[in-house]
Amino acid sequence: MLSLDIPKSRTTPEFTTTTRVLVVEDEDLIREMVSLALQEQGYHVVTATDGRVALNLLKESQMSLQLAFDLIILDLMLPQVNGLDLCRLLRYQGDTIPILILSAKASETDRVLGLEVGADDYLTKPFSMRELIARCRALLRRQSFSTAPVSSVLQFEGITLFPEECRVLVDGVEINLSPKEFRLLELFMSSPRRVWSREQLIEQIWGMDFLGDTKTVDVHIRWLREKLETDPSKPKYLITVRGFGYRFG
């Protein structure tokens, strides 16, 4: 059974009203109790009862910074798409969102497999809500340290980037970027004219455990050019340095 020793709500840096958590769990009681415990701590909680619904929610979240999730709590035995496949797919696509697996599978082999496919933590059922909350806090702290935003506004010719607001203006007009596009642009604008190799960009934006290939970088650069450049075929901002990688400006 679940232990319902839910900690008192408190204000902490990682628990804000903008923190969004996706809970993917097909057991009604567990899903409802986990959601309640997280909401008591100040999370904005979105739930899914199967892997396919979760994938659709994640796809929608990638289209808008305001809808991006900060953490996924994921059951393994799900209808449609199971938790392992969902976790593996996210990591293959380069998504570094923290993932906490909740599972009744408690063997060492199961825990190792969950971590190897890309999960950041693994909690077996039954579990206490106090431990769940503590693990969520730890994952969010770790993520905030690795993706700490630059506090000052970044400006380069016609492009203005507001790190703390997750907004970008091009010639005074706000454009919509996905989380990965925003982080790429922020990295480029933090070091104008520095040449970044594809491997360096993968490490900085997607993380060391990224399982895809460097073509992911090229795709995101192309998408950024379409949003930033007057003529993407003759880029002014995102320049290809043949044989090395990319630079900004």
3-state secondary structure of 84: helix
pLDDT tops 90 at residue 33: yes
DSSP 8-state assignment for residue 19: -
Instruction: Please report the pLDDT score of residue 4 as a whole number.
Output: 45
Tokens of 172: 């005074």
- For residue range 112-136, list pLDDT tens digits in order: 888 888 898 999 999 999 999 999 9
CA 218 to chain centre: 19
pLDDT tops 90 at residue 49: yes
pLDDT grade for 65, boundaries at 50, 70 and 90: low
3-state secondary structure of 174: strand
Domains within the chain, CATH numbers bracketed: 20-146 (3.40.50.2300), 154-248 (1.10.10.10)
